[in-house]
Chain A
Amino acid sequence: MTGPRIVPESTELTAAFWSAAAEGRILLQRCAGCELVWHPPAPVCPGCRGDVLEWFASSGRGTLYSYTRVEHAAHAAVADAVPYLVALVDLDEGPRVVTSLVGVDDASAVSALTARTRVTIELGPAAAGLQLPIARPSGPDADGSIDPAPPA
């Protein structure tokens, strides 16, 4: 990695998230009133606007929502990182997170990824240089079909 690292700004809203993220854990917010869970962090519950919120650690397990293999660097900071995998993971607790995807080392492994691919979160190298929570396929795949867009 020769370019500058891309680091997240930590705010009063997200400081707890980033402290845990540095240790490979994903903290999620939960409403004490209605128990809704969400990400990214918000000052009030998106369900009931309650403001008694608690942080808790995700199980670190989830299912792949989508991914892309970035082949063209959009910034000098990742010029040495391409190609790399970016994924959207739906955590078992509900919220979706952006993460890096590792352990998918060849073209056949990439093409085997599906919307049923299960992943586990661990501490590892994010594409732009930091150690952060990243995802690794954990198999076996989830059962059942994904929810397609319902008919109009």
Chain B
Amino acid sequence: MSAAVIGIGQTAYSRASQRSEWSLAVEAVEGALADCGISPSDVDGLVRYSYDSVDEAMLVRSFGWRLRYYSQTGYGGLGAPTALAHAAAAVTSGQARIVVCYRSLNGYSRTRYGRAERSFESGGGELVARGDRAPSGAFAGPYGLLSPGQVMAMWARRYQWEAGIAEQDLVGALARIAMDQRTYAQRNPAAVMHGRPLDAAGYLSGRVIATPLRIFDLALETDGAAAVVVAATDVARAASSSPVHITAVMAGMFAYAESIAIYGELRNGPTYRALARELFSVAGIQPGDLSAAMIYDATSISVLLGMEAYGLARPGAGWRAVLDHGIGSAAPVPVNTSGGHLSEAYVHGMNLVVEAVRQCRGTSTAQVQRSGPVLVSSGPSAVVLSP
């Protein structure tokens, strides 16, 4: 594949941007273009998350673009790797030469993903649950299954049972994930949780949201935007930045593998692992070759399941690997080195892509020593980036 990420941009991450999501998106995209020395007028492609309130027409108007290509990616958190899949396909097929991907949300001050209010029409009387998805769909909402964290709490319990471990071992592993990501955030001045370290006692004192998950197991709700610029390799050579190559990318989907699923495989299951093997085969690497991994962490259990799905630990053994080595700088493959969604910001995976690019460039605030490919995964969707 001959596509590369050439530019990265982000706004400040906060809990009160006091700005529109449109304004945030413009700033992140401007930053990403400035990062690679590309003139805004050279952009001819755009990929948007279908969940984003900032649509193509708004950004086109702001930047005066004349696009040849635009597309949308669905399913929220699956969107970051999928956006790169669209962008890479567009530039390698000649449909576009320079494609911007972005995510912008006031995730604290406007739309709180930990709350279910957005799931139902407001107004008096009864609330109507629609569709067949969890959380909040017709088969889940009436039972009070209303937030992603509640679904993932059930993933965590099922993981514990399938691994055959005690609750304290599960909680120990989840705590270690939350603490190690918080430690990364202490090195990242842009992280919302910079200056707020978390120890084991602090983790355990966090209030229980839905057993076995506590507040520190859940992604932050934050305001902010992030963007990347993807270009064909010949364009990338002319950019002012070092290109980070997209060596394999996968917009995976199979039955009940949508974002927050309850009816299918647990997310370390055999179909997820088969897709991961195919991704690594395309990239020509083994999981152990990764220098770092960014694993979509809507909750801490997603990290554990993702480590097993993408071969960083054997199925059912991720908890042990985390207890033994953690996911910090000393781990065999450091994970979520910016602090991730738990401690940097929750920009629905796009900030994980930005951190993966920094790792490939050697500019992360928690830079890994070994140069090599970096994984960004979200359930069945993933991308491998290489310096």
Chain A contact residues, CB within 8 Å of chain B: 4-9, 14, 39-41, 46, 65-72, 74-78, 81, 84, 86, 88, 95-100, 110-111, 114-115, 126-130, 132, 146-152
Contact = CB atoms under 8 A, between A and B. Distances in A.
Contact of A9 (B128, B158, B211, B316): B128
A46 B256 CA distance: 12
A20 B210 CA distance: 30
Given A68-B154, A78-B146, A98 B127 contact: no
B153 A148 contact: no
Contacts of A110: 211
19 contacts: A5-B142, A6-B120, A7-B128, A9-B128, A14-B132, A41-B132, A46-B255, A65-B154, A66-B155, A72-B207, A75-B117, A77-B127, A98-B134, A98-B143, A98-B145, A100-B143, A126-B144, A128-B144, A152-B315
B237 interface: no
Contact of B210 (A4, A6, A71, A98): A71
A9 B129 contact: yes
Nearest to B152: A68
A9 B308 CA distance: 37
B142 A128 contact: yes
Given A46-B255, A98-B140, A126-B144, A149 B157 contact: no
Consensus secondary structure, chain A interface: loop
A78 B120 CA distance: 13
Contacts of A88: 154, 158, 262
B139 interface: yes
Contacts, number: 162
Contact of A74 (B114, B155, B308): B114
Contacts of A77: 116, 127
A7 B126 contact: yes
Interface in B145-198: 145-147, 149-150, 153-155, 157-158, 161-164, 167
A65 B308 CA distance: 20
Nearest to A81: B144
A151 B139 contact: no
Given A4-B125, A128-B143, A149-B270, A70 B115 contact: no
Contacts of B162: 115, 146-149
Most chain A Cβ neighbours within 10 Å, of B126, B135, B314, B316: B126
A9 B138 contact: yes
In this complex, the member of A14, A39, A115 whose beta carbon has the largest number of chain B beta carbons within 10 angstroms is A115
A98 B139 contact: yes
B269 interface: yes
B253 to A, nearest CB: 14
B252 interface: no
A62 B188 CA distance: 48
Contacts of B161: 66, 114-115, 146
Listed from nearest, the 4 A-B pairs whose CB atoms lie closest are: A127-B144, A8-B138, A68-B153, A75-B116
Contacts of A147: 162
A97 B139 contact: yes
Contact of A86 (B117, B150, B311): B150
Given A71-B207, A149-B270, A4 B150 contact: no
Given A69-B211, A98-B143, 15 more contacts: A4-B124, A6-B127, A8-B128, A8-B141, A68-B213, A74-B146, A77-B116, A78-B144, A88-B158, A110-B211, A127-B142, A146-B162, A149-B266, A149-B269, A149-B315
B116 A132 contact: no
A148 B164 CA distance: 8
A86 B209 CA distance: 13
B282 interface: no
Chain B CB within 10 Å — which of A8, A39, A97 has the most? A8
A146 B158 CA distance: 10
Given A66-B154, A72-B208, A88-B154, A128 B115 contact: no
Interface string B297-336: 0000000000010010011100000000000000000000
Contacts of B164: 148
Contact of B142 (A7, A39, A65): A7
B351 interface: no
Nearest to B148: A74
A127 B268 contact: no
Chain B CB within 10 Å — which of A69, A70, A129 has the most?
A: A70
Contact of B154 (A4, A67, A71, A146): A67
Contact of A98 (B124, B126, B209, B262): B262
